[in-house]
Amino acid sequence: METSFFKNNRERFFELMEDRSIAVFFAGEAPQSSGDQQHPFVPNRNFYYLSGITEPKIVLLLTKFEGKKEARLFVERPNPVMAKWIGESLTKEEAAEASGIEAANVSYLDEFHGFLQSLLLSLPYEHVYLDLEKRAWNAPSTPAGRFAHGIKKRYPYLQLHNAYHAICDMRLIKTKEEIETIREAGRITVEGIKHVLRHAKPGMKEYEYEAYFDFVLKSNGVKHHAFHTIAAGGKNATVLHYERNDQTVRDGELLLLDLGAQVDLYNADISYTFPVNGKFTERQKTIYNIVLKALREVTALIKPGVPFSDLQEHTKKVLAEECQKIGLIKTPEELSKYYFHGVSHSLGLDTHDVGRLRDQKLAPGMVLTVEPGLYIEEEGIGVRIEDDVVVTEDGCEVLTTGLPRTVEEIEAFMAEARSGQ
């Protein structure tokens, strides 16, 4: 992303802040795994959205007093000993270049508390904004949570504000630059799925299909997946978030893939279902075509002004009507046995991206998934088909194009791949 993107995000957030306010955002750090090992570092996405920084431990400080707005960064002081083991930490100059914050406003982390103390002593600030996201009652304390406890204890006159929801709502509408990054993540994901199709055959382990996808991501310089890959064969595909990926997929079974590449922290999310032997059975074809019909009808429904909830209602309507036609269910209420998730979610810096979408109407710049499915456990058939789309001024555009989607297209693609082997 260009630094102008992050500078603009900070300006938008400044407009939401009360006067006489400070805001503090933390990059976070990787939790310990075991021994001297740590889990891979994942930057706090709201911190990144405002700073452009992907390194751990860094702090962003925003101040607004009588209309004057200022942004500062606090980075780790260079440590020559640790640099020999894990490499150099982010320099002041690099932080300034990535964030668009003036180099004179980049200081070291060990100066943060002293700077903050002098700031609060010199001017009568009244408000403090923090990203106080809390996913569960017993969730581990975050750097922002610990800071909130400490600053309230030391400066009880300050009013605390949770900035989480405001930033999440900002993230709901994507810029052209964000959309193009998601499109690129989708392109690589499509390429990876095609690579799986070219090498698929019965008798492979689920993780072998996954490995073919991973090869394409690495070949494109992608270091991270959007989420843990789902490669679910046969009955496993009826488990929504199946991740074991260690079973053999037999001749005559379908494989359900749900996967995505991550590019510059932005994610793609595609679900794809196909027969590992290259030919659908008649029953598999019937179920697949029902799900494909729902995908296409719901995608066609997407345009500005449409309530987000309408997408799910129309999905259930299409699936229920078609399942009744084939005798799978007798009443629409029975559909919940075979379809039990939402058809769409926001997509961006998080795969299930943030922002209050559920009760809103669609607007240009929103990026959504469309992912209907049917899961018939007693028949060992699970089908989910998913695309990523962006809402445009007069409709929507599919960002994840180029895959064979119909039964005929999938069978033809796999037949051609086999003929060339």
Please write the tens of the pLDDT for every residue from 307-343: 999 999 999 999 999 999 999 999 999 999 999 999 9
Does the structure show a pLDDT above 90 at 237?
yes
Predicted local distance difference test score (pLDDT) of residue 350: 97
Neighbours of 400 (CB within 10 A): 24
For 130-163, how does the pLDDT look when each residue is reduced to its tens digit (9 = 90+)?
Answer: 999 988 888 888 999 999 999 999 999 999 999 9
**For residues 404-411, average pLDDT:** 98
Predicted local distance difference test score (pLDDT) of residue 140: 84
Contacts of 214-223 with CB under 8 Å at 24 or more apart are: 216/188, 216/191, 216/192, 217/188, 217/192, 217/261, 220/188, 220/191, 220/261, 222/188, 222/261, 222/262, 222/263, 223/262
Question: What is the rounded distance in angstroms from the CA atom of residue 87 to the CA atom of residue 80?
Answer: 9
Does the structure show a pLDDT above 80 at 81?
no
C-alpha separations of 41 from 38, 54, 110, 218, 400 in Å: 8, 9, 21, 18, 28
Does the structure show a pLDDT above 80 at 82?
no
For 200-216, how does the pLDDT look when each residue is reduced to its tens digit (9 = 90+)?
Answer: 999 999 999 999 999 99
Confidence tier at 40 by pLDDT (50, 70, 90): confident
Q: Class assignment of domain 173-419?
A: alpha beta
Confidence tier at 421 by pLDDT (50, 70, 90): low
Does the structure show a pLDDT above 90 at 84?
no
| CATH topology identical between 3-171 and 173-419 | no
Percent of the residues in the chain that have a pLDDT greater than 90, as a whole number: 89
Please state which of the ranges 90-94, 300-304, 341-345 shows the lowest mean pLDDT.
Answer: 90-94
Task: State the distance between the two ends of the chain, measured CA to CA, in whole angstroms.
Answer: 41
Mean pLDDT of the chain: 95
Question: What is the rounded distance in angstroms from the CA atom of residue 123 to the CA atom of residue 125?
Answer: 6
Please state which of the ranges 26-35, 81-90, 338-347 shows the lowest mean pLDDT.
Answer: 81-90
**For residues 290-294, average pLDDT:** 98
For 376-399, how does the pLDDT look when each residue is reduced to its tens digit (9 = 90+)?
Answer: 999 999 999 999 999 999 999 999
Q: Where are the domains of the chain?
A: 3-171, 173-419
Domain 3-171 coded CATH 3.40.350.10: yes
The model's pTM: 0.95
Question: What is the rounded distance in angstroms from the CA atom of residue 323 to the CA atom of residue 334?
Answer: 10
Answer for the pair 335, 319: CB distance below 8 angstroms, yes or no. Answer: yes
Answer for the pair 147, 26: CB distance below 8 angstroms, yes or no. Answer: yes
